Structure 1
Amino acid sequence: MSLRVVKLGAHIGARIDGVDLGAGVGPDTAARINAALLEHKVVFFRGQHDLDDDGQLAFARALGTPTAAHPTVTSRGDRLLPIDSRFDKANSWHTDVTFVDRVPKASILRAVTLPPYGGTTTWASTEAAYDQLPPPLRALVENLWAVHTNQYDYATLHDEPGATPTAEQRAYRDEFVADYYETEHPVVRVHPETGRRVLLLGHFIKRFVGLGATESATLFNLLQARVTKLENTIRWNWELGDVAVWDNRATQHYAVADYDDQYRRLNRITLAGDIPVDVFGRRSRAVVGDASAYSDVVGPVALAG
């Protein structure tokens, strides 16, 4: 295999060519993919038509330690979580599973069934957003912590005004919040592999520690607007056979719900990560909920290469 990394944007995104994931990934190739992931934040593979669920899991194990499919949604799979449009469309900006203390390292997403139009996914670099902050905002956010919870407002974030959720959507949402989690994370964390500072935000934030609801909402919108600035994003048009891998510690993402009632399914496997640390060395704190059954705490892994 002749691995080639093709840069797609100034701040985020690359396509990796010359790799057949279905044939298996050795240590050297895994190390090169991980290096590209750290540099570009999200990497894409086209034409992986021979990759099935087992192959996706094997690829995940080459890059790290898979978590359980989800901390609370346990009825839909063990290691592999179907991202199924019948249940939820995830059409808001988020970093995966930040309501637990051990934020995942990365996720691997494979297209299974795609609508005839729409259904793109957009990623944003939280490293670029931090780098672009003016000094007064940096001083603020480096001392700021946020409360993240899985009991966020689905109706506000996901549904069209006046829409009535289906029975499948209600069941999914009930399962999502059946076990309550609440965690305090720093708004600026130090990336465990690159040492770079990144913003830790997204839709699981309930409020900022020490601030009221109105102040929290105003500051959240200010910071989120910097993360999702178009120059800090990349939008991917899925094709069957595509695989995306993103660094969950340095990105947010948004599944664009622009495909009407067409069916869309992608399969996701998540890799275990560490407990975030702020710029002063303080670790995130679990307030409610024990995520040990969901994921081990895994620090940076020295891959060959």
Structure 2
Amino acid sequence: MSEIEIRKVTAKIGAQISGIDIAKPLDDETIAAVRAALNEHKALVFDAEGLDDEGQQAFARQFGDLTTAHPTVPAVDGAPNVLPVDSERGRANHWHTDVTFVLNPPQASTLRSITIPPYGGETLIANSAAAYRDLPEPLRRLADNLWAEHTNDYDYAVPDEEIDEEQAEQRAQFTSIKFRTAHPVVRVHPLTGERGLFIGGFAQRIIGLSVGESRKILDILQAYVTRPENILRWRWSPNQLVLFDNRITQHYAIDNYDGQPRRLHRVTVAGDVPVGIEDKESYSIAGDASHYTSVTEVG
């Protein structure tokens, strides 16, 4: 087993990992140690010197089967499991958990820095378990019993006249298959048993409530996720990889770099079907994601 050094970055989320060459295969003990660190810290930062797309996929595959790049968005040429997160193709400057509009979103995501701007371009990652613990008891009891519909097809609150032709094409591609899935607002992590707020940008409506009522409740809960104390603000350096637990975090890419080039590559690990506090599983309302992900066992 490698001599792993774990250095916390903030009190509630994030750690830098050293002593591991992630460009090489990891032994079982090291994989278990990384998984344990991920369970505890939610987001891990590694030196990725010498890592290419193939190596990133090989690293992620040690934690489970890979998804394809995305249910509707094209992959990197020749690498069907790699999604280019490119400023020229749009900017994900909203809080979200990856692909929660499908029945079993990824359990974990990896992001690797390819091109970074000279300033700005940080990624924020929030600990949704800490957010749940922060809730006052009455709000916690309310959240425990709520379910939310997640979808990739919703009003982005951007007037049509402000969208250019390229942006309209990107939006049409993103919604070329329309997904709607019901998830528990409070998800139980299958490995740690922690409860976390499972909401974010794709959660558009509370089951049984109107859109307007839903928005008010979701905004209240989301405010706990995005408390500064619950957030890792990661300033990218060249050749870095961040691994984060997609089951119990949200993230946000800050658009603060004056339109300069910014590119990361994302590879995600297939996940299990979310479960709420009463052991009820999420259920699909519309859209088949079998081309994108397998349903994995807990791991």
Q: Which category of TM-score, normalised to the shorter sequence, fits these structures?
A: over 0.9
Write out aligned runs for 1:67-82 (5 A).
67-74=67-74, 76=76, 78-82=80-84
Q: How many aligned residue pairs are there?
A: 296
| Separation in 2, partners of 1:241, 1:165 | 33
SS at 2:199 equivalent: coil
| Separation in 2, partners of 1:110, 1:201 | 25
Q: Which amino acid is the alignment partner of residue 117 of structure 2?
A: P
Match of 2:238 in 1: 240
Task: From the superposition, tell whether residues 166 and 136 of structure 1 become closer, same or farther in structure 2 (CA, over 3 Å).
Answer: same
Segments of structure 2 that go 5 or more residues without pairing to the other structure are: none
Match of 1:250 in 2: 248
Segments of structure 1 that go 5 or more residues without pairing to the other structure are: none
Q: Is 2:69–2:75's contact at 8 Å kept on the other side of the alignment?
A: no
Q: Which amino acid is the alignment partner of residue 19 of structure 2?
A: G
Match of 1:186 in 2: 184
Match of 1:203 in 2: 201
| Separation in 2, partners of 1:206, 1:182 | 10
- 1:166, distance to aligned residue in structure 2 (A): 4.7
Match of 1:144 in 2: 146
- 1:165, distance to aligned residue in structure 2 (A): 4.0
- 1:169, distance to aligned residue in structure 2 (A): 3.0
| Separation in 1, partners of 2:185, 2:288 | 21
- 1:95, distance to aligned residue in structure 2 (A): 0.5
Write out aligned runs for 1:39-50 (5 A).
39-46=40-47, 48-50=48-50
- 1:283, distance to aligned residue in structure 2 (A): 0.7
Write out aligned runs for 1:12-51 (5 A).
12-46=13-47, 48-51=48-51
Match of 1:11 in 2: 12
TM-score by length of 1: 0.93
Aligned CA-pair RMSD = 1.6
Q: Is 1:144–1:208's contact at 8 Å kept on the other side of the alignment?
A: yes
Q: Which amino acid is the alignment partner of residue 215 of structure 2?
A: A
Q: Which amino acid is the alignment partner of residue 71 of structure 1?
A: P
Which digits, 9 at most, give the CA deviation of each residue in 1:173-221, with x for residues without a partner?
Answer: 2110010000011101111111111111001012101111221111111
SS at 1:184 equivalent: strand
Write out aligned runs for 1:122-137 (5 A).
122-137=124-139
| Separation in 1, partners of 2:249, 2:125 | 7
Which digits, 9 at most, give the CA deviation of each residue in 1:3-41, with x for residues without a partner?
Answer: 111111111111001111112322221111111111000
Match of 2:173 in 1: 175
Q: Is 1:95–1:252's contact at 8 Å kept on the other side of the alignment?
A: yes
